[in-house]
Amino acid sequence: MSDGGLLQKAMDVQQPADEVVAVAVADSRKKTLIPNSLPIGIGLAVVSIVSMWLYSIPSIQSDYALLIIVPIVLAGAGWFLIWDGMSRKYTEVISVTILLLLASPFISSSLFSSSITITDSELSSDAETITLTIRESGGLFGGSSGDADVSISFGGENVWDSVMPLSINLNDGIGKYGKLVLPIVEFYSGNAADDSRYVVTVDSGGSSDSFILNSGHLERTIDTTQNLAVGAMGEGNDCSGNKDSCVIGVGLKAWVGLQANVGNPPAPLPHANFELTATLTKDGVTAISYPTVTVINGEATWDSMSGEYGSGSSDVGDFGSEIILDGSVEDIAINMQFIPRDDWQESDFGCYEFTVSATQGPPWGDRTAHVSTTFYELAEFGGEDENGPQTDESWTQVSSC
């Protein structure tokens, strides 16, 4: 075989290899679909990560929840451009790297910051304060102890702001928690209702939560009263002048609370504070002037006058809005203690006016008197003829005097 033959064969073998390299270079350049896709992709990825850090701010998450779409879309576009710029290689590495960077603000938050949640509210035994239970989650290396910004709104209007110390220093089977005590007298602005609720917001350590306070704890302002005077009847020896029946006394009742349906007693206010006066008069002359009743947190007290007006105390509001104004004599027929007629300052026959008035001082009320009045006719009747002695007496509610 000639040298020329061998050299020619070597050249023939070498030529295809060079062509393969050239083709490979050309092919690798053709794999990039978008010019400068790598730097553009890196830029979009950086913007998406910065956007996610902004979105991780609790207030932005709360007010603009849908904004999370922005960093996700930018990250997706950045991933595609980086992948394209790197000749569509390293798919898993690019994906994991971008996902970790996107999750970094939330990983950081879970390690170095915490979130608070208001889980419960409790009324004190004297009904003067409400204690919030605040639980903490997250924050492996951080905590929410420190000053807390506390605000309360009523019916959508802000009524109270305060900076209070908060320590998440208690623990139970559920987890870590702290307490905040709210003084009701400082923020009370009227009765809580379905359309006028008290909402407390606590902001501490970059975390915030809101809680609707129990409406039953924040119904304190009365707006109506009702009353009733029940006649206690006697027979035979109970009566003077040989009468068959007679009025031997009267039992007094009052209802104080919130306006209910017409014909029904007022709804109770178990935590209201107020003063109640009650008088029975005839033609402007006082027959009974009941001692002033003071009600504080459901407990009514008054001067019993050594038993002349019952025990001097009773519970109000737990089972209704009724207040029984006891007298000195028990009567099973009317199921209450009545004030004997012999103790009235005026006891002649005629029309009597029974008036009840309830007032409240700030912040529960503006000392406006809520007054109710009923009228009763004390009369005698019977006998064989109208000119003879009357044999019976009656105590009848009438529309007016």
| Amino acid identity at 142 | G
Sign of CA dihedral 158, 164, 169, 171: negative
Please state, rounded to an integer, the average pLDDT across all residues of the chain.
84
pLDDT for 78 equals 78
Of all residues in the chain, what percent carry a pLDDT higher than 90? 52
The token pair that represents 349 in the structure block: 């026959």
- Work out the average pLDDT over 82-101: 77
- pLDDT greater than 70 at residue 4: no
- Architecture of the CATH domain 114-215: Sandwich (2.60)
Highest mean pLDDT among 47-51, 61-65, 170-174: 47-51
Domain boundaries, the chain: 30-110, 114-215, 224-398
pLDDT for 138 equals 60
Task: Give residue 191's pLDDT band: very low, low, confident or very high (50, 70, 90).
Answer: very high
Region of poorest pLDDT, from 190-194, 238-242, 364-368 = 238-242
The token pair that represents 98 in the structure block: 């971008």
- Work out the average pLDDT over 86-105: 76
- Work out the average pLDDT over 104-121: 72
Conformation bin of residue 202: beta by default, left when phi > 0, alpha when psi is -120 to 50 = beta
Going by the DSSP 8-state scheme, the letter that residue 266 receives in this structure is P
200 vs 319, residue with greater confidence: 200
Region of poorest pLDDT, from 53-57, 58-62, 171-175 = 58-62
- Work out the average pLDDT over 99-119: 71
pLDDT for 274 equals 96
Q: What is the pTM of this model?
A: 0.69
Q: CA–CA separation, 277 vs 90, rounded Å?
A: 87
- pLDDT greater than 70 at residue 346: yes
- pLDDT greater than 70 at residue 359: yes
Q: Are 225 and 139 in contact (CB under 8 A)?
A: no
Q: Roughly how many angstroms between the first and final C-alpha of the chain, as a whole number?
A: 149
Q: Are 372 and 226 in contact (CB under 8 A)?
A: yes
- pLDDT greater than 70 at residue 266: yes
Q: CA–CA separation, 274 vs 316, rounded Å?
A: 11
Task: Give residue 207's pLDDT band: very low, low, confident or very high (50, 70, 90).
Answer: confident
- pLDDT greater than 80 at residue 7: no
Asked if the bond preceding 340 is cis, omega within 30° of 0, the reply is: no
- pLDDT greater than 50 at residue 343: yes
pLDDT for 139 equals 53
pLDDT digits (tens, 9 = 90+) for 133-174: 988 766 544 455 678 899 999 998 999 999 999 888 887 777
